[in-house]
Amino acid sequence: MQRRSLQPPPAPSSLRQSSDSDEDADDHHSSSSAGETRVQPLTVTKPRKDGSVQVAVRIRPMLPRELARNAATCVERQRGEDNVIRLVPTAADLFERKFTFDHVFPQSTKQTELYDEALKPWMASFLQGFNVTVIAYGQTGSGKTHTMGNSMPSTSTMANSLFARSPSSDDSSDEEAADTLDSDEGLIPRFLHHLFTKLNESGSNFQLSVSFLEIYGEDIHDLLDNSDAQRASRRSEPLQLRENKKNGVWVQGLTEVPVSNRHEAMEQMQRGALQRITASTQMNERSSRSHAVYTVKIVQRVSEHESKKDPLVPNNQEMTNAASG
């Protein structure tokens, strides 16, 4: 396998407004809790006619408190056009607007349907050595955490689940439970389940590691830092973003934890989530400046001929939860 030169993806061309208005739909999304926008810039093995960046919109269901106050849905998928959303006219804005995306997922979309259509097709590209990035973007409370799949129970419950298991336990029922996907699990656990299934089937020689960072204001914090200083302060020291020809853009000093199965990868994500500064359910200025990036790095061994030059070829899968204020 040769090292592939990854070019920056082009600007997304999939967002097209069907009406003559110049107003942006972002105001409608931010003023209502009915929708969530997820952006998926993806590098693929060959050029696609729709470009290497795909944009998907997921419309979340009304929350109980919204139903209680008879809130109205502001956006819906256009009937007969699966990739078009329609902004519902209101008393304040009587104009109907339509927007076209690569994917539009209605309120009834299940987590497995979302993964199968939006992310699963790119697994082959990832295993062939290409970087893949998924970005969940939307207002706080719009459903990004649920979509990505890193929602958590209470801190005490999580602590019990992480430390109750003995490292030497060989209970087969525990292993089976770790490999079972719950219907509510989102893109990250489904990707990890799919990835380890594929790797185990192939018998390939590979090394995997994960990292988890938070961008808070202008600072980058390591969510997997387990040093004494970090434990004392409950917060890691800010890290520096670097760039060079060998590594490209990277974060100096970021912890990378080796993992051998989905359970270990998910455990690290849960540990990092416990360290997050932002409470995902609170809408405030602090939360709107915080973004989390969970990265899975796979290093695949190449053929003997290529190994004389470069024995290991790394590539990354990045999952980003980006808030908007």
Percent of the chain topping pLDDT 90: 32
User: Is residue 148, in this structure, part of any structural domain at all?
Assistant: yes
pLDDT at 315: 67
User: Is residue 8, in this structure, part of any structural domain at all?
Assistant: no
Q: Which residues contact 204 (CB under 8 A, 6 or more apart)?
A: 300, 301
Task: Evaluate if residue 165 carries a pLDDT over 50.
Answer: no
Residue range 58-110, pLDDT digits in tens: 999 988 999 999 988 889 999 999 999 999 887 777 788 999 999 999 999 99
Which of 24-28, 154-158, 228-232, 270-274 is predicted most confidently?
Answer: 270-274
Residue range 24-70, pLDDT digits in tens: 333 333 333 333 333 333 333 343 344 578 999 999 998 899 999 99
Percent of the chain topping pLDDT 70: 61
Sign of the alpha-carbon dihedral angle for 243, 45, 186, 190:
negative
Q: What is the mean pLDDT of residues 10-19?
A: 38
Least confident window among 5-9, 188-192, 220-224? 5-9
Q: Is 141 annotated as a binding residue?
A: yes
User: Is residue 11, in this structure, part of any structural domain at all?
Assistant: no
Domain span including residue 156:
16-324
pLDDT at 15: 36
Burial 184-216 (b: 16+ CB within 10 A, else e): ebbbbbbbbbbbbeebeeeeeeeebbbbbbbbb
Q: Is 246 annotated as a binding residue?
A: no
Q: Is 272 annotated as a binding residue?
A: no
Q: What is the mean pLDDT of residues 274-287?
A: 53
Q: Of 104, 194, 85, whose CA–CA distance to 149 is shortest?
A: 194
DSSP of 141-165 = TSSHHHHHT-----HHHHHHHHHSS
Query: Quick count: other Cβ atoms within 10 Å of Cβ 10?
Result: 10
Q: Which CATH number is 225's domain given? A: 3.40.850.10
Mapped onto helix, strand or coil, the DSSP state of residue 36 is: strand
User: Is residue 227, in this structure, part of any structural domain at all?
Assistant: yes
Give the chain's domain count: 1
Higher pLDDT, 67 or 237: 67
Task: Evaluate if residue 305 carries a pLDDT over 60.
Answer: no
Q: Is 144 annotated as a binding residue?
A: yes
Q: Is 46 annotated as a binding residue?
A: no
Q: What size, in residues, is the chain?
A: 325
Whether this prediction's pTM lies above 0.75 is answered by no
Task: Evaluate if residue 7 carries a pLDDT over 50.
Answer: no
User: Is residue 101, in this structure, part of any structural domain at all?
Assistant: yes
Q: Is 143 annotated as a binding residue?
A: yes
Q: Is 139 annotated as a binding residue?
A: yes
Identify the bridge partners of residue 35 per DSSP, sorted by sequence position: 59
User: Is residue 9, in this structure, part of any structural domain at all?
Assistant: no
First to last CA, the chain: 43
